[in-house]
């Protein structure tokens, strides 16, 4: 019977496809409409019947956007910042997650509780002291001022701790100890291969978060050395900013994220599913 569970597997029917199609449409529409808006002027978009199809003027608009704002510099800076934050977060959070999940040490529970509690403190509360700290280190207006505070997140530590605890049995680690491995070798040869899907998920989430971050970079970076989000600012100048140019710039800044997802998508989705099944 369609749509019912037979031997534990649900079969899709027309309703499933319609529902999935509808959700996909809603999800994809904003991106599609960005493309449409990026290829039409303000007047065209304000017409009684707004256009629904993009045209080739999108390339001219991207070019105008590139002339107007330091988008390429922003793009390079964002790739550096997001890449470094992603690598750092994945590495440090996996190490910390492994330590909290599998190593016995005094104060482990309290340290984890403190780590998780920091998630409840809003970023805005720490901005002024953080800026003062960065200025003291001489890092204001340096990309490292954006990278350093985000190299390890409480969410990442907690996420990896939960995954390591459920995906890596204690016996596997004990077997590696018996085989002559030390803690770091156990981490590298046994834990990392087992938690790679979770690392990919954390990597993607971190990359997106770092890529989209606007608040901290605009405080600590100048407009001469912006990340992509900060550089969009320069597009919205003037009394009546051209929506098409803003959208063309935004689209330009979104492409790298789409590439990351296209490259890692399969593993990321696999990772999410594995995590779900293992609870």
Residue 193 or 238 having the CB closest to other proteins: 193
Residue 67 or 171 having the CB closest to other proteins: 171
Q: Minimum distance between the CB of residue 195 and other proteins, rounded to whole angstroms?
A: 11
Q: Is 168 in contact with 56 (CB distance < 8 Å)? A: no
Q: Residue 116 burial by CB count (10 A; 0-12/13-18/19+): exposed, middle or buried?
A: middle
Q: Minimum distance between the CB of residue 194 and other proteins, rounded to whole angstroms?
A: 7
Judged by CB under 8 A, the chain residues 91 through 150 that form the site for other proteins are none
Q: Is 277 in the site for other proteins (CB under 8 A)?
A: no
Token code pair at residue 200? 């990919």
Residue 197 or 249 having the CB closest to other proteins: 197
Q: Minimum distance between the CB of residue 185 and other proteins, rounded to whole angstroms?
A: 7
* Integer Cα distance of 139 and 81 in angstroms: 14
Over the window 164 to 183, marking each residue x when it contacts other proteins by CB under 8 A and - when it does not, the resulting string is -----x-xx-xxxxxxxxx-
Q: Is 193 in the site for other proteins (CB under 8 A)?
A: yes
Among 13, 55, 189, 223, binds other proteins (CB under 8 A): 189
Site residue total, other proteins (CB under 8 A): 17
Binding footprint of other proteins on the chain (CB under 8 A)? 169, 171-172, 174-182, 185, 189-190, 193-194
């Amino acid at each position: 019977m369609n749509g019912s569970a037979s031997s534990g597997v649900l079969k899709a029917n027309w309703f499933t496809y319609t529902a999935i199609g509808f959700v996909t449409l809603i999800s994809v529409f904003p991106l599609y409409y960005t493309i449409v808006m990026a290829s039409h002027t303000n007047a065209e978009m304000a017409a009684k019947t707004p256009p629904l199809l993009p045209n080739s003027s999108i390339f001219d608009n991207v070019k105008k956007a590139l002339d107007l704002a330091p988008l390429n510099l922003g793009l390079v800076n964002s790739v550096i910042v997001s890449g470094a934050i992603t690598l750092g977060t994945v590495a440090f959070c996996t190490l910390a997650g492994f330590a909290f999940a599998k190593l016995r040490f005094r104060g482990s529970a309290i340290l984890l509780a403190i780590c998780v509690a920091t998630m409840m403190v809003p970023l805005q509360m720490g901005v002024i002291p953080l800026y003062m700290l960065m200025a003291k280190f001489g890092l204001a207006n340096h990309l490292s001022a954006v990278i350093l505070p985000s190299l390890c997140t409480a969410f990442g530590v907690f996420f990896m701790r939960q995954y390591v605890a459920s995906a890596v049995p204690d016996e596997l680690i004990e077997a590696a100890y018996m085989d002559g491995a030390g803690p770091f070798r156990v981490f590298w040869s046994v834990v990392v291969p087992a938690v790679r899907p979770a690392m990919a998920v954390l990597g993607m989430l971190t990359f997106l978060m770092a890529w989209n971050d606007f608040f901290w970079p605009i405080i600590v970076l100048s407009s001469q050395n912006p990340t992509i989000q900060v550089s969009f600012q320069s597009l919205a100048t003037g009394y009546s900013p051209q929506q098409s140019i803003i959208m063309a710039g935004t689209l330009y800044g979104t492409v790298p994220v789409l590439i990351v997802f296209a490259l890692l998508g399969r593993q990321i989705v696999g990772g999410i599913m594995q995590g779900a099944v293992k609870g």
